[in-house]
Structure 1
Amino acid sequence: MAGRTAWLALVAVLGAVLVSGQAQAEERTNLLCANNTGDDERINAATAASSPGDEIVLRGTCLIDRTVRLAGDRTYRGLSRSGTVIRQAPGANLDAMLASDSYLDNVPWTGAPVTLRSLTLFADRANNPRARDGLVLRSWQAVVEDVVVRESNRHGIRVTNLSANRTALTTTQVNGRITGSHIAGSGGRGVHVEDTGNAVTDWQLLDNWVEDSGADGIGLDNAAGWLIRGNHVYGVGGVAVWAERLFGSSITDNYLEDFTTSGIRVSVQGEAASTVSGNRVFKANGGSGTFVETRVNYGVGNLAVVGNTIRGNGSGVGLDFRGPNLVVTSTGNLVTGVDTPRRVGPGVSLSAGS
């Protein structure tokens, strides 16, 4: 009986230690912001005290005048879009509000996976005229979900192979996902993919809203292997979706309206084939423009342009296929309200497919 009593006491002690340790870990990784400029230090301290696999939960309004460091193998979660708001303090003029650790450390390798979800970044460009980007990602397998980015002075979300001092990656930065997010009022691009090499490939950009960008809505220096699907882009000052270097890429089922210059602008690499399908590309905001335009970078470009719905306001070019050496299947596209439904340049081989 004495042995059993001692064993039960030991179990109770171990349980208490476990509960205490769990409570300490939860206290360390759950942060109620104070809405003052010490919040960035508190968030960064919570990150420094965390362990790989931890979820850092932010609550309330967080006022920052320094960049929040996103460490790899962590999740950063808010309570909701309105329940957690990270605000850039007036006059902070940050290079980035939140950024991957590999970006800040200027190392030549990509950061470990990081997840950000269910919060709002308010960049306050009116009071930060020298600021740059809202969120900067330089981590592979990154996930951004249910995030609002408002009023960035430059780009809302920037995915880049370069660090803060422009050190380029010598590794790849693949397999990320940006989904269900809302990027509004950026001075530059809503989503900007910067790739001076061939590192930022094979991501997914799904079901996002991008509005009122000063430049392009979505712009990719390198769209190789990307899936760009289900996004709603509207009221932008340049191109709705501008995707360079298509290589096994897909741009599908997006709703693009009231752009300035082009709805979809792509360039195609040789050696692979890509798809532009099922997009609704409308322009009711006046002026001319090109709704879908293509060109080839090298080799023979192969592209399927199928089932898109184009609606203009009386002028512009619906489909503009430019070579040289472009093999394009164009079928099932409904093109109305433009003065040139389809323009085919020299060196373009056009068919209805098999």
Structure 2
Amino acid sequence: MYRFFSGGVAAVLVVSGLLVPGSAEAAEQQFTPKRELVVACKNNVRDSALIARTLQRSAEGDEIVFDGTCLVSQTIPLLENRQYRGRSRTGTVIQQADGANLDAIFASDSYLDNSPTTGLSTALRSMTIKANSENNPDAHDAVVLRSWQTVLEDVQISDSARHGVRLTNLSANGTPLENTQVNGRLAQLQINRSGGNGIFVEDTGNSVTDWQLQDSYIASTGDAGIRMQNAAGWMIRGNHIYGVEGGPALWAERLYGSSITDNYIEDFVGTGILGTVQGGSATTITNNRIFQDDGEAGTFLHVAGNYGDAKVAVTGNTIRGEGAGIGLDYQKGNADSLEVASTGNLVTEVTTQRQVGEGVTVTEGMLASLTG
């Protein structure tokens, strides 16, 4: 059932759906498109109504295809068990209309419905989203995800007033999730000129874990390039982050069995990679390239413990500055101890190559012998 309401600064189309917590039945669902519903946009004020009518007649398993340039003045809900896609990044453009000031251009249905449980699987692919912050100064995010097993890929996002992508455990009115929101993927994104973070993983509880963030370009952000309040179980790989103006390039908290690998980072403020490590399952930070080409100081790679006996492998990273800053910085933080296997890192043209705090043990790692 659909309902329109006005609240805050813009009208939002909200869809109420029956949401199932992370059950075995939901986990076994496979998405296979049943119908292709094409939205032929005209780049005018009637496009939002056209999109709403198409969604009203859609059903689970359908694929909604956007064609042309869509001028939107209402949030587009990402309904459960549907796929949304464009023709290509150039063939489909979703642009926020002047003065719409939306909370989000796309948002998961569970976010809009203020559900205490995560939404079911959705996918959003192959388009450009122009958030048009210059003419929407009170807008927020381009894409808000609050659904598990969800995919966002091959999407270009530009000029968000706040975050380019926000993956959150909170709903529109701040209702937190009571279950988990796991097993999704963010990949092949180009995110430019976000006023806040390029990608923001918001988790005030312990719900948003075990996702993949891969092969994306994030540039010219007002805050961090990637900001993760919960990076437990995440695989963060192959991203290029540059031109960060207001914070760390990659800030990952609550690392637990996580990996940060093969990322290329340049020109950041304060810290290149900032990670805090939980006790328990160890984390790997490997084969990253972290450069500072604009003469700024700061710390290139900083690791701190959160609790318990935290363990992390930091290997094969390449760090190069312009004569200033700290290359590697290992601190115990709030943990009882921090053990770092630190080998094969190339650190050049910085003031301090490696800084080790009290309560930190740095080793070359151990190779367990196998018998029998």
Instruction: Give the TM-score taking structure 2 as reference length.
Output: 0.87
SS, match of residue 153 in structure 1: coil
Match for residue 59 of structure 2? 51
- Residue 86 of structure 1 deviates from its aligned partner by 0.3
* 1:189 pairs with one of 185, 197, 200: 197
Deviations 1:165-215 (A, max 9, x none): 000000100000011110110000000000000000000000000000011
SS, match of residue 180 in structure 1: strand
The residue identity in structure 2 corresponding to 1:181 is: L
C-alpha distance in 2 between matches for 1:197 and 1:261: 27
C-alpha distance in 2 between matches for 1:163 and 1:25: 29
SS, match of residue 250 in structure 2: strand
Aligned 8 A contact 2:35 2:63 in 1:
no
Aligned 8 A contact 1:120 1:147 in 2:
yes
- Residue 251 of structure 1 deviates from its aligned partner by 0.2
The residue identity in structure 2 corresponding to 1:113 is: S
Matches within 5 A, 1:237-316: 237=245, 238-316=247-325
Whether 1:107 aligns to 2:115 is yes
* 1:201 pairs with one of 209, 212, 234: 209
* 2:97 pairs with one of 69, 84, 89: 89
C-alpha distance in 2 between matches for 1:81 and 1:275: 34
Match for residue 6 of structure 2? none
Aligned 8 A contact 1:44 1:69 in 2:
no
C-alpha distance in 1 between matches for 2:208 and 2:309: 23
C-alpha distance in 2 between matches for 1:285 and 1:353: 34
* 2:72 pairs with one of 59, 64, 73: 64
Flag the 1:338–1:25 CA change in 2: closer, same or farther, 3 A. Answer: closer
Aligned 8 A contact 1:151 1:186 in 2:
yes
SS, match of residue 249 in structure 2: strand
Aligned 8 A contact 2:261 2:287 in 1:
yes
Match for residue 11 of structure 1? none
Match for residue 21 of structure 2? none
Match for residue 119 of structure 1? 127
C-alpha distance in 1 between matches for 2:49 and 2:125: 20
Matches within 5 A, 1:94-243: 94-237=102-245, 238-243=247-252
C-alpha distance in 2 between matches for 1:204 and 1:44: 31
C-alpha distance in 1 between matches for 2:171 and 2:70: 25
Count of residues paired in the alignment: 329
Aligned 8 A contact 2:241 2:266 in 1:
yes
C-alpha distance in 2 between matches for 1:38 and 1:257: 42
SS, match of residue 102 in structure 1: helix
C-alpha distance in 2 between matches for 1:31 and 1:188: 31
The residue identity in structure 1 corresponding to 2:266 is: E
Flag the 1:327–1:25 CA change in 2: closer, same or farther, 3 A. Answer: closer
C-alpha distance in 1 between matches for 2:35 and 2:39: 11
Match for residue 12 of structure 1? none
The residue identity in structure 2 corresponding to 1:338 is: V
C-alpha distance in 2 between matches for 1:40 and 1:263: 40
Deviations 1:94-121 (A, max 9, x none): 1001000000000101011100000011
- Residue 25 of structure 1 deviates from its aligned partner by 5.2
Whether 1:41 aligns to 2:68 is no
SS, match of residue 268 in structure 2: coil
Match for residue 9 of structure 1? none
Match for residue 16 of structure 1? none
Whether 1:32 aligns to 2:40 is yes
Larger radius of gyration: 1
Aligned 8 A contact 2:35 2:61 in 1:
no
Whether 1:333 aligns to 2:345 is yes
Aligned 8 A contact 1:120 1:149 in 2:
yes
C-alpha distance in 2 between matches for 1:191 and 1:127: 22
C-alpha distance in 2 between matches for 1:257 and 1:183: 15
- Residue 308 of structure 1 deviates from its aligned partner by 0.1
C-alpha distance in 1 between matches for 2:319 and 2:77: 43
C-alpha distance in 2 between matches for 1:163 and 1:45: 24
* 2:326 pairs with one of 317, 327, 340: 317
SS, match of residue 239 in structure 1: coil
**Percentage of matched positions with identical amino acids:** 56
The residue identity in structure 2 corresponding to 1:343 is: Q
Aligned 8 A contact 2:190 2:217 in 1:
yes
Deviations 1:12-64 (A, max 9, x none): xxxxxxxxxxxx954xx111001112212221221221111111110000001
> As a proportion of its length, which structure holds more helix?
1
Structure 1: tracts of 5 or more residues without a match: 1-23
